[in-house]
Amino acid sequence: LAKTTQPISMDSYEGQEVNITCSHNNIATNDYITWYQQFPSQGPRFIIQGYKTKVTNEVASLFIPADRKSSTLSLPRVSLSDTAVYYCLVGLSGSARQLTFGSGTQLTVLP
């Protein structure tokens, strides 16, 4: 299972674009990169998943360089409600593909 490193915390202001970068130097060939969001007292919520290049959905974009040793979650024009912990997960472990969460990045959006 690839070890991931991401900033412990980030602050931003409403309306700004936020980029959270995750390092995963020992990513395996078959590993996907997945980001989850967690609000206080709620379960993690899937945001986006990608394998290479760029993936975009209605919530975020995920940029993955050719070597796949890092990835960047981009949140366009954040609002106060985007304040949450964001987790980068790489690969899945075990026969049932359970998730291994790190400490995540606490994003605080300020008015």
Instruction: Output the CA angle 26-105-95, nearest 5 degrees.
Output: 45
CB of 82 to another protein, least distance (A): 18
Residue selected from 76, 101, 108, 110 as contacting another protein according to rule CB under 8 A: 101
Residue closer to another protein (CB basis): 74 or 102: 102
Q: Is 56 near another protein (CB under 8 A)?
A: no
Q: Does 53 interact with another protein (rule: CB under 8 A)?
A: no
- CA 26 – CA 28 distance, rounded (Å): 6
Buried b (16+ CB within 10 A) or exposed e, 82-91: bbbbbbbbbb
| Subset of residues 1 to 40 that bind another protein, contact rule: CB under 8 A | 31-32, 34, 38
Smaller CB distance to another protein: residue 52 or 77? 52
Q: Total number of residues binding another protein (CB under 8 A)?
A: 23
Is residue 70 within 8 Å of residue 6, measured between CB atoms?
no
